[in-house]
């Protein structure tokens, strides 16, 4: 196996020998303040045909309860570390870890997130507290994600700068979708077919 | 189906394209699909005021990486290994297939789920696994359509772009049962219903398969992180649920630093699906959440491309397929005519470099373009595809008749007196030019009239009238 | 201003009326036009088809012929793009410049900075750095660039009472980035009704030797272009390249559509003064005979002035 390695490295060195290096100029937009980031985020999430609510902190619990009721979601998985005010009365805990089949049988999952991006309407999960392992937000058909307003950054560079690459990350922009049939966008294939986002100010 | 073996012995591009042009259903499907995505791309690219700057940075990052590829690959290997992953190096397709087959065998499993991956198609991995008694199940919707239909991919992003909804419905009804859960009895051709059928067909497979094989869109040397962008969630299923994950990735997919993602996560989704962001992007570093992780680094001709000073820019490619979607030739010829897993403009420069130009098909690919330049305009990493096409034309074998004609034309153009003589001769013979030309030039007069040859060339008029003054 | 005309081999041989129209037009605008008779071809056909040795020879010949001029005007977007965009790449390749600078950014305005000189270092000479060599020789302009950017003449005093649609050729659109220059010129032509061409930015399918090496795709592309042209109801389709127009026009004639092709220069040279029109090469018979020639295959002549209707076929 090391034969392949040495051969490839030798070929590379021969191929680029004497070639000049290239300087990287990063003059594109990077970290910035974005007034109205919450509103833009909500608008962009909605563009993906996900449900979005922007509420005051005091309304979070009621909004979550109403959202679950609206979906008829009774058996709802929660990750460890989800704030109690976001936790439904009789949650399904992932402890000990649920099998894939068990996850497939629940009505939905509630999580927080690590970062959210206004310009692209993206939420990023890093498997940290209140988010859980990646399968939790994948197998259940309904994902309710609570985003705190101070987690919303303006753009992709701001998000990349805040995230830890050592953690497994899942960037989510709307519900699962495909455009493989005549390039018609259809929401809902293998991932959660319904994504609902609650932004708490 | 995939893999190079499927394309062996295919005729040259012009013949394949001529057949495709006659297929009105194909033409209709391609036109509709490419125009839809073209419009979407244009509108989300226009949203970013700094697109040109991102594009410049994307090009520079890739060029810098390629220049220092040996160093960054070693850094990547170290980081992946430190994070509990295993790194393998494959100089060619056979070595890659051998490594992957061995890894799957070691698990004792006889089936694997796959995330859409160009690299594994390029090396014919599914066929290699099949020979070893392992069934590879494609899970991307379009790849599923291709696999069930015993077909070839015809587009980088949307491999079944040549199929319309009613064709897909027929494939699902006829073939799903042989591969697993049958299609619902009352299946309609509504894309929603078709997507639902795919969901049901693959669900149990995702939840129970123990080994997954993926490619990757990016690898980060600094951190050892791999990145996969997708839409459906099949990628997440494969990357997350199985106990063993094997990723086969071309060595050119490397980026030096984590920060570089801030550029490419803006360039790729907008160029590819025409979205601000694709539904799902997964990143993982080494053995994530206790998974067994193997990374197979694939050369398979890439270092040969790297050695070509003009052609190496093709290695910047991030497989967005924007060039396919704007290409008037691709739109009419379809992806299969290119005889490669890499169709369209990028395929026309990548395939002849990866495979060489020994076959008639591969030697014809650099000519599968009118050099209109639309591909270069949309390329998010500024690959000057027309430049590389022309460069490869200079290296291709030319037909004898064409060589003679070009040499003769060169001889005439070398001296103005020769040109003037040829023009006068043409002027004298102009009444006798046939409406249909013989030989290769018949290709012109089959559909087009010839222009009338003037009695007097411009230069003769200039000389006779002293520039029109007498 | 002393201006050299690079008429191009296609115009010289097949479309002399276009060259004559450029001469008429530039003189009318006060330019002293010279036609260096040693000129032949820019080498595009050879270079783009992969015949580098012949192409390089022709590129060097071009540079030698035009070395002494301030400005070179080219009635062809494609040939102007070859000289300005491709010659510097030849120079880089010849100087052994390493890759990595293959892609220049698009989106900038068209800056006619390309030049005929310094395209290739001669044996034994030090290679000029890419970019610098571009300033050594004369500036090369496509016709509409020269009229607008150098002469500042939007209204060139033309009269052409016809319904016209404009096809931006690929090399003028994406190579030279002419933008709306030709349209601005056409909009100021008296009597001219300009109708927009749907899907105008799509290639017509000519592509030089592509038209014969990939005839099926080429013809399919042109069929769509022709359909779009017919949808405009235009009498004339205009462009900055006679090579593309030869392809489009050949298809229009084969299909007996009655729609004619004209180079931009010929429309801009046409005036109300019949003498002026005749001097402009009679714009392929359009000015006098538009009504009668329409639809008659072969009745439109490209000779200088004489509408004969002859047809050898």
| Domain limits, chain B | 4-302, 412-465
Q: How remote is the C-alpha of C37 from its chain's centroid?
A: 19
**Residues of chain C neighbouring A20 (CB-CB closer than 8 A):** 98, 100
The pLDDT, as a whole number, for residue C68 is 84
pLDDT over 50 (residue C311): no
The pLDDT, as a whole number, for residue C110 is 29
Domain residue limits, chain A:
35-200
By C-alpha distance, the chain A residue nearest C99 is: A19
By C-alpha distance, the chain C residue nearest A23 is: C100
Instruction: Give residue A71's pLDDT band: very low, low, confident or very high (50, 70, 90).
Output: very high
DSSP calls for B83-148:
TT-EEEEESSHHHHHHHHHHHHHHHT-SEEEE---HHHHHTTHHHHHHHTT-EEEE-SHHHHHHHH
The pLDDT, as a whole number, for residue C118 is 35
Q: What is the CATH number of domain C154-293?
A: 3.40.50
Cα–Cα distance measured from residue B202 to residue B104, given in angstroms and rounded to the nearest whole number: 20
Superfamily, domain A35-200:
NagB/RpiA/CoA transferase-like (3.40.50.10420)
Q: Do residue C100 and residue A20 have CB atoms under 8 angstroms apart?
A: yes
**Residues of chain C neighbouring B468 (CB-CB closer than 8 A):** 20, 23-24, 279
User: What does residue B292 show for φ and ψ, rounded to 5 degrees?
Assistant: -80, 125
Residue C37 near residue B463, CB atoms below 8 Å = yes
How confident is the model over A48-63, as pLDDT tens digits? 999 999 999 999 999 9
How confident is the model over C215-234, as pLDDT tens digits? 999 999 999 999 999 999 99
The pLDDT, as a whole number, for residue C304 is 38
The pLDDT, as a whole number, for residue A2 is 55
CB pairs under 8 A between A and C: 7
Substitution target in C6, C81, C218, C262 with the highest count of B β-carbons within 10 Å is C218
- Contact with chain B for residue A122, Cβ under 8 A: yes
Residue A86 CA neighbour count, 13 Å, CB half? 24
The pLDDT, as a whole number, for residue B435 is 84
**Residues of chain B neighbouring C203 (CB-CB closer than 8 A):** 328, 370, 372, 374
Instruction: Give residue C285's pLDDT band: very low, low, confident or very high (50, 70, 90).
Output: very low
Instruction: Give residue C275's pLDDT band: very low, low, confident or very high (50, 70, 90).
Output: low
Buried b (16+ CB within 10 A) or exposed e, B410-438: bebbbebeebbebbeebbeeeeeeeeeee
Q: CATH 3.60.21.10: does it fit domain B4-302?
A: no
> In the predicted model, what is the mean pLDDT of residues A21-49?
94
pLDDT over 60 (residue C277): no
Reduced to 3 states (helix: H, G, I; strand: E, B; else coil), residue C114 is coil
Cα–Cα distance measured from residue A113 to residue C9, given in angstroms and rounded to the nearest whole number: 66
Query: Who has greater pLDDT, C128 or A115?
Result: A115
**Other beta carbons within 10 Å of C176:** 26
The pLDDT, as a whole number, for residue C109 is 30
DSSP calls for B47-79:
T-TTHHHHHHHHHHHHHHHHHTHHHHHHHHHHH
**Residues of chain A neighbouring B191 (CB-CB closer than 8 A):** 181-182, 184, 186
**Rounded to 10 degrees, what is the CA torsion of C276, C306, C293, C11?**
-80
Instruction: Give residue C117's pLDDT band: very low, low, confident or very high (50, 70, 90).
Output: very low
Q: What are the Cα distances from residue A52, in Å, to A41, A84, C224?
A: 9, 21, 44
B46 by Cβ neighbours in 10 Å (0-12 / 13-18 / 19+) ranks as: exposed
Q: What is the pLDDT along chain B (470 residues), one digit of tens a residue?
A: 445 566 777 899 999 999 999 999 889 989 988 999 999 999 999 999 999 999 999 999 999 999 999 999 999 999 999 999 999 999 999 999 999 999 999 999 999 999 999 999 999 999 999 999 999 999 999 999 999 999 989 999 989 989 999 999 999 999 999 999 999 989 999 999 999 999 999 998 999 999 999 999 999 999 999 999 999 999 999 999 999 999 999 999 999 999 999 999 999 999 999 999 999 999 999 999 999 999 999 999 999 999 999 999 999 999 999 999 999 999 999 999 999 999 999 999 999 999 999 999 999 999 999 999 999 999 999 999 999 999 999 999 999 999 999 999 999 999 999 999 999 999 999 888 888 888 888 999 999 999 999 999 999 999 999 998 87
- Contact with chain C for residue B271, Cβ under 8 A: no
Substitution target in B49, B311, B328 with the highest count of C β-carbons within 10 Å is B328
Domain residue limits, chain C:
2-149, 154-293
How confident is the model over A139-189, as pLDDT tens digits? 999 999 999 999 999 999 999 999 999 999 999 999 999 988 888 888 889
pLDDT over 50 (residue C189): yes
The pLDDT, as a whole number, for residue C122 is 33
The 3-state DSSP composition of chain B as helix, strand, coil percent (nearest 5) reads 60, 10, 30
- Contact with chain B for residue A18, Cβ under 8 A: no
Q: Which residue from B234, B278, B303 is facing A8, i.e. has the nearest CB?
A: B303
CB pairs under 8 A between A and B: 245
pLDDT over 50 (residue C300): no
Q: Do residue B448 and residue C219 have CB atoms under 8 angstroms apart?
A: yes
* Closest residue by Cα to residue A19 from C14, B313, B115, B130: B313
Written as six digits, the tokens of A43 are 């608008």
Cα–Cα distance measured from residue B443 to residue B446, given in angstroms and rounded to the nearest whole number: 5
Q: Work out the percent of chain C whose per-residue pLDDT is above 90.
A: 68
Cα–Cα distance measured from residue C261 to residue C283, given in angstroms and rounded to the nearest whole number: 10
Q: Any idea which residue has 């393998």 for tokens?
A: B88
Confidence check on the interface: ipTM exceeds 0.85, yes or no: yes
Listed in sequence order, the residues at least 6 apart from B56 whose beta carbon sits closer than 8 Å to its beta carbon are: A25, A27, B382, C105
């Amino acid at each position: 196996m090391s034969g392949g390695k040495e051969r490839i490295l030798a070929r590379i060195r021969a191929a680029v020998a004497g070639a000049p290096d290239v300087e990287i100029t990063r003059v594109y937009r990077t970290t910035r303040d974005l007034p109205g980031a919450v509103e833009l985020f909500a608008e962009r999430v909605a563009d993906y045909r996900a449900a979005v609510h922007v509420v005051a902190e005091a309304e979070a619990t009621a909004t979550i309860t109403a959202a679950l009721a609206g979906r008829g979601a009774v058996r709802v998985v929660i990750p460890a570390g989800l704030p109690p005010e976001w936790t439904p009365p009789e949650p399904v805990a992932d402890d000990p870890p649920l099998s894939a089949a068990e996850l497939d049988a629940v009505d939905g999952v509630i999580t927080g997130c690590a970062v959210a991006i206004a310009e692209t309407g993206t939420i990023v999960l890093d498997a940290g507290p209140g988010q859980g392992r990646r399968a939790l937000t994948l197998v259940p058909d309904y994902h309710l994600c609570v985003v705190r307003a101070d987690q919303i950054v303006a753009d992709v560079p701001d998000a990349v700068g805040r995230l830890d690459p050592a953690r497994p990350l899942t960037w989510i922009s709307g519900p699962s979708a495909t455009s493989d049939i005549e390039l018609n966008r259809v929401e809902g294939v293998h991932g959660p077919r319904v994504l609902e986002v609650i932004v708490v100010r | 189906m995939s893999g190079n073996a499927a394309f062996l012995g295919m005729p040259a591009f012009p013949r394949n394209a001529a057949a495709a042009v006659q297929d009105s259903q194909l033409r209709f499907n391609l036109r509709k699909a490419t125009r839809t995505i073209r419009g979407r791309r244009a509108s989300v690219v226009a949203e970013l005021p700094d697109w040109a700057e991102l594009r410049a940075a994307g090009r520079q990052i890739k060029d810098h990486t390629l220049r220092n590829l040996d160093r960054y690959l070693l850094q990547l290997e170290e980081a992946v290994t430190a994070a509990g992953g295993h790194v393998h190096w494959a100089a060619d397709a056979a070595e890659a297939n051998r490594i992957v087959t061995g890894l799957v065998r070691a698990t004792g499993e006889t089936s694997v789920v796959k995330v859409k991956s160009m690299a594994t198609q390029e090396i014919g991995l599914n066929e290699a696994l099949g020979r070893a008694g392992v069934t590879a199940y494609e899970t991307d919707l379009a790849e599923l359509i291709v696999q069930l239909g015993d077909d070839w991919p015809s587009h980088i992003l949307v491999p079944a772009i040549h199929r319309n909804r009613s064709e897909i419905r027929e494939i699902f009804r006829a073939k799903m049962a042989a591969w697993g859960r049958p299609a619902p009895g009352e299946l309609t051709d509504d894309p929603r219903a078709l997507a639902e059928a795919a969901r049901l067909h693959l669900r149990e497979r995702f939840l129970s398969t123990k080994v997954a094989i993926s490619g990757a869109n990016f690898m980060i040397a600094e951190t050892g992180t791999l990145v996969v962008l997708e839409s459906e969630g099949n990628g997440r299923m494969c990357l997350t649920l199985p106990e063993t994950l094997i990723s086969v990735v071309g060595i050119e997919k490397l980026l030096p630093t984590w920060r570089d993602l801030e550029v490419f996560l803006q360039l790729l989704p907008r160029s590819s699906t025409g979205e601000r962001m694709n539904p799902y992007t997964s990143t993982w570093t080494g053995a994530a959440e206790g998974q067994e992780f193997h990374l197979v680094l694939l050369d398979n001709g890439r270092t040969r491309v790297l050695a070509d000073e003009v052609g190496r820019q093709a290695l910047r490619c991030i497989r967005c397929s924007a060039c396919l979607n704007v290409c008037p030739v691709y739109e009419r010829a379809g992806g299969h005519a290119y005889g490669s897993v890499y169709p369209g403009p990028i395929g026309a420069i990548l395939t002849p470099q990866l495979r060489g130009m020994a076959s008639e098909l591969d030697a014809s690919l650099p000519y599968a373009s009118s050099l209109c330049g639309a591909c270069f305009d949309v390329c998010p990493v500024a690959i000057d595809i027309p430049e590389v096409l022309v460069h490869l034309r200079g290296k291709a074998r030319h037909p004898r008749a064409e060589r003679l004609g070009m040499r003769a034309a060169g001889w005439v153009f070398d001296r103005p007196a020769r040109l003037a003589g040829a023009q006068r001769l043409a002027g004298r013979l102009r009444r006798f030019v046939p409406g249909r030309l013989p030989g290769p030039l018949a290709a012109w007069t089959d559909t087009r009239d010839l222009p009338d040859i003037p009695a007097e060339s411009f230069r003769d008029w200039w000389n006779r009238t002293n520039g029109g003054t007498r | 201003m002393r201006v050299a005309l690079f008429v191009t081999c296609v115009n010289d041989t097949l479309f002399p009326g276009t060259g004559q129209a450029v001469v008429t037009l530039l003189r009318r605008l006060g330019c002293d036009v010279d036609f260096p008779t040693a000129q032949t071809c820019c080498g595009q056909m050879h270079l783009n088809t992969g015949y580098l040795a012949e192409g390089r020879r022709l590129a060097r010949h071009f540079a030698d012929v035009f070395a002494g001029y301030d400005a070179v005007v080219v009635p062809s977007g494609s040939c102007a793009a070859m000289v300005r965009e491709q010659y510097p790449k030849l120079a880089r390749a010849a100087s052994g410049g390493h890759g990595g600078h293959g892609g220049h950014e698009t989106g900038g305005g068209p800056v006619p900075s390309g030049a005929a000189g310094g395209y290739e270092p001669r044996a034994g000479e030090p290679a000029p750095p890419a970019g610098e060599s571009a300033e050594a020789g004369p500036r090369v302009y496509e016709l509409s660039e020269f009229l607008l950017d150098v002469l500042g003449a939007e209204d060139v005093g033309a009269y052409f009472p016809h319904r016209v649609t404009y096809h931006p050729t690929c090399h003028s659109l994406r190579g030279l980035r002419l933008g709306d220059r030709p349209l601005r010129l056409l909009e100021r032509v008296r009597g001219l009704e300009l109708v927009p061409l749907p899907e105008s930015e799509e290639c017509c399918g000519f592509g030089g030797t592509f038209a014969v090496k990939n005839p099926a795709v080429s013809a399919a592309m042109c069929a769509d272009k022709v359909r779009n042209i017919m949808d405009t109801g235009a009498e004339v389709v205009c462009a900055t390249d006679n090579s593309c127009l030869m392809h489009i026009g050949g298809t229009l004639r084969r299909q007996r559509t009655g729609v004619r092709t004209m180079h931009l220069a010929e429309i801009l040279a046409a005036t109300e003064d019949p003498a002026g029109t005749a001097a402009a090469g009679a714009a392929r018979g359009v000015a006098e005979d538009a009504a009668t020639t329409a639809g008659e295959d072969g009745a439109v002549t490209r000779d200088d002035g004489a509408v004969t209707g002859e047809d050898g076929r």
